[in-house]
């Protein structure tokens, strides 16, 4: 006797993937969330986004031109933890399709020309190493040289420990870059996205003419657990949030992502005097530059001009082979 058994499996068809909000736990169609600028339609939770997506949201279509994408970090300490530092960099490059934790270039935002530098938390936690510091320096120098406002979007876990003291030096380097921008009297607007911590908060991003943040972003130098253990005090529940930083005067505004492009463009026009210098700004523009910052600006402009003329492969951060290919990653 022959027995035929038919077995049918349930749920073998294509499953519809849903996006679940980490804050309110509501689920949504991923395409709808993407169309809403990666913001939860129910509660307004701002999901972390990469540098390329951020640039697409901020810059006018087709206006962003990337510079210095060929820069690569080196391995000055021959650093190894669970794996060698060059291997970590190659993995981050493959996963993010970026060469480093920052993308910089020129763009227009709502028809306002600027130099735009955007950090990507997805690349090794947005850590600030030698290449990040160098790109920010070059972005500031280009802004000063061309008279374009500088817009920086920061999302970082702090310094990159694999580069040791060289990483910490980027705090001083990027702070000097802000001096160059200030000396050239061009506007500097910083946007703090979740999370923005450590050496980035302690350097360039807090020195902008206008500092804004997205709702719910975490902004602090040290984490609440470290501070609580050090001070032996109970911290408020909203410690480090953008909303508390606004109350304490550390921010100028909290701007939802849907309004960010227009707000940044308005800030840039406002800082430039609405497109026409008034009497006070004319007097300020006629003042001679200080000797030290004038020399910094001239040296920076010369270096950037040389980089434009010779855009070959460059590596930063010490001796040794640079991890990753010298070719640009696919867009």
pLDDT tens for the chain, 331 residues long, are 666 666 655 555 556 689 999 999 999 999 999 999 999 999 999 999 999 999 999 999 999 999 999 999 999 899 999 999 999 999 999 999 999 999 999 999 999 999 999 999 999 999 999 999 999 999 999 999 999 999 999 999 999 999 999 999 999 999 999 999 999 999 999 999 999 999 999 999 999 999 999 999 999 998 889 999 999 999 998 999 999 999 999 999 999 999 999 999 999 999 987 654 443 344 344 444 455 555 666 666 666 666 555 655 566 665 555 655 444 444 4
- Give the C-alpha separation, 60 to 75, whole Å: 37
Q: Which positions ≥6 away from 315 have C-beta within 8 Å? A: 71, 72, 73, 74, 322
Closest CA to 207 of 133, 132, 152, 142: 152
- Give the C-alpha separation, 129 to 167, whole Å: 5
- Give the C-alpha separation, 181 to 293, whole Å: 9
Whether the Cβ atoms of residue 101 and residue 129 lie closer than 8 Å to each other: yes
> What's residue 239's pLDDT?
93
Give me the domains of the chain, ranges plus CATH numbers.
20-47 (no CATH), 50-274+289-316 (3.90.226.10)
Q: Which positions ≥6 away from 204 have C-beta within 8 Å? A: 136, 152, 174, 175, 177, 178, 190
Whether the Cβ atoms of residue 256 and residue 44 lie closer than 8 Å to each other: yes
Residue 284, judged by CB atoms within 10 A of its CB (0-12, 13-18, 19+), counts as exposed
Closest CA to 166 of 97, 85, 103, 281: 85
- Give the C-alpha separation, 190 to 206, whole Å: 8
């Amino acid at each position: 006797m022959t027995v035929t058994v038919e077995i049918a499996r349930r749920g073998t068809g294509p499953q519809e993937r849903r996006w679940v909000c980490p804050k309110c736990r509501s689920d949504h169609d991923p395409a709808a969330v993407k169309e809403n600028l990666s913001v939860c339609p129910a509660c307004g939770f701002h999901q972390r986004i990469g540098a390329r997506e951020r640039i697409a949201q901020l810059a006018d279509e087709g206006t962003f031109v990337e510079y210095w994408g060929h820069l690569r970090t080196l391995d000055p300490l021959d650093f190894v933890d669970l794996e060698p530092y060059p291997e970590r960099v190659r993995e981050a490059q493959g996963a993010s399709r970026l060469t480093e934790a920052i993308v910089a270039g020129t763009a227009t935002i709502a028809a306002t020309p600027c130099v735009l530098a955007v950090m990507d938390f997805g690349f090794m936690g947005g850590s600030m190493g030698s290449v990040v510091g160098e790109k920010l320096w070059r972005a500031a120098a280009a802004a000063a040289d061309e008279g374009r406002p500088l817009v920086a979007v920061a999302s970082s876990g702090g310094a990159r420990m694999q580069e040791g003291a060289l990483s910490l030096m980027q705090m001083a380097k990027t702070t000097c870059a802000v001096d160059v921008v200030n000396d050239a009297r061009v506007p500097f607007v910083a946007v703090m996205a979740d999370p923005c911590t450590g050496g980035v908060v302690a350097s360039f991003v807090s020195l902008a003419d206008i500092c804004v943040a997205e709702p719910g972003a975490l902004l602090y130098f040290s984490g609440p657990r470290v501070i609580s253990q050090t001070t032996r005090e109970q911290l408020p529940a909203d410690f480090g949030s953008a909303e508390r930083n606004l109350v304490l005067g550390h921010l100028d505004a909290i701007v939802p992502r849907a309004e960010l492009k227009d707000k940044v463009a308005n800030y840039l026009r406002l800082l430039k005097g609405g497109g026409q210098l008034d009497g006070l700004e004319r007097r300020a523009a006629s003042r001679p530059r200080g000797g030290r910052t004038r020399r910094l600006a001239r040296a920076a402009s010369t270096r950037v001009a040389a980089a434009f003329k010779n855009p070959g492969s460059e590596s930063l951060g010490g001796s040794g082979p640079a991890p990753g290919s010298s070719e640009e990653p696919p867009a």
